Amino acid sequence: MSADAVSTAPPPGARADWTIDQGWDGYTPAEHQVWITLYERQASMLAGRACGQFLNGLEALDLHRAGIPDVHRLNRELDRLTGWTVVAVPGLVPDGIFFEHLANRRFPVGRFIRDASELDYLQEPDIFHDVFGHVPMLTDPTFADYMQAYGRGGQRAMERGQLHHLARLYWYTVEFGLLQTAQGLRIYGAGIVSSRAESHFALEDPSPNRLGFSLERIMRTPYRIDDFQQVYFVAPSLQALLDATLQDFAPIYERLSRAPDIAIAAIEPGDTVITRGDQSYAKAGGRAAQ
């Protein structure tokens, strides 16, 4: 996603803020069936893997098995819990539009759902990734605050030309974050929790590094968009994520502008090492070699 401006024109039929009507009545039975298939394969494996906040959110929103949720129904419950609502969009929206929505507690969700032939992986977020993956965590007040702080931070990062650093924070927390709990590591990242294969890989595979959450370390670390991550960062709590956003980022961006990126599979002297991976999956060629 290029760091484009807010000025990019929305596609035909979309409003200036890139939102569209979900048109829930327009989904076909086949599209609802894809949701049901994805939901049942994911929900059945998340006990003991997804964090408690995610599981509570899934329950509270009743993302029931009857098919693609109607965002109007979903919003009544979500708005009551944390003041967040979801808005339907055609797909990826420009960064400036995305941050504007997050800063106002609106989460953009792609209207489309993937085809039954690509259940396991897709490049662009569809409504299953967005609603099943992201929305349950938005029912947690602390995470809800974190996501709004991220939106505001994104607006400032764009002004400073620092989006490439801040996008890594999103990637290694909101999309691929792990949480330390008394019962062990648990998933809160949407990219993991909405993927059956990566839900196993991120928690159990000996291949990836698992390192303690560190804001600046994350912002110096590139990430994978085409395959499982080679490193996962583990937050001690959701409060720790929120606390990290409440500091002044100017000195951080100043230091980052002079600090080189860290190699994606590297372990640095200052790292808190939870598991030192053997990178066997990446060395074997990753998804392409499966």
Q: Which does 241 bind (CB under 5 to 8 A by kind): Fe ion, ligand HBI, none?
A: none
CB 210 within 8 A of CB 229: no
Taking CB under 6 A as the criterion, the residue among 84, 132, 170, 213 binding ligand HBI is 170
Helix (H, G, I), strand (E, B) or coil at 173: helix
In the stretch 76-115, what mask flags binding to ligand HBI with x, by CB under 6 A? -------------x--xx-x--x---------x-x-----
Number of residues that bind Fe ion (CB under 5 A): 2
Residues written for the chain: 290
Give me the least distance between CB of 134 and Fe ion, in Å please.
6
CB 105 within 8 A of CB 83: yes
In the stretch 127-156, what mask flags binding to ligand HBI with x, by CB under 6 A? ---------------------------x--
Which has the closest alpha carbon to 263: 208, 212, 223? Answer: 223
Q: Which does 170 bind (CB under 5 to 8 A by kind): ligand HBI, Fe ion, none?
A: ligand HBI
Nearer to ligand HBI, 71 or 89 (CB): 89
Kindly state the DSSP code that residue 210 receives in the 8-state scheme.
Answer: E
Which has the closest alpha carbon to 18: 75, 99, 74, 73? Answer: 99
Give me the least distance between CB of 93 and ligand HBI, in Å please.
4
**Quick check: 219 binds ligand HBI (CB under 6 A)?**
no
In the stretch 7-46, what mask flags binding to ligand HBI with x, by CB under 6 A? ----------------------------------------
Could you give the CA distance from residue 220 to residue 63 in angstroms, rounded to a whole number?
36
Which has the closest alpha carbon to 70: 117, 15, 32, 16? Answer: 32
Q: Measuring CA to CA, how many Å separate 255 from each of 220, 245, 246, 249? A: 10, 16, 18, 10
In the stretch 157-196, what mask flags binding to Fe ion with x, by CB under 5 A? ---------------------------------x------
**N-terminal to C-terminal alpha carbon distance within the chain:** 27
Taking CB under 6 A as the criterion, the residue among 1, 116, 250, 259 binding ligand HBI is 1
Give me the least distance between CB of 108 and ligand HBI, in Å please.
4
Instruction: With contacts defined by CB under 5 A, name the span among 25-33, 125-133, 243-251, 275-283 that binds Fe ion.
Output: 125-133
| Phi/psi at 101 (5° precision) | -65, -50
Instruction: Give the Cβ contact number of residue 20 at 10 Å.
Output: 15
CB 151 within 8 A of CB 103: yes
- Residues lying near Fe ion in the complex (CB under 5 A) are found at 125, 190
- Residues in contact with ligand HBI by CB under 6 A are 1, 89, 92-93, 95, 98, 108, 110, 125, 154, 167, 170
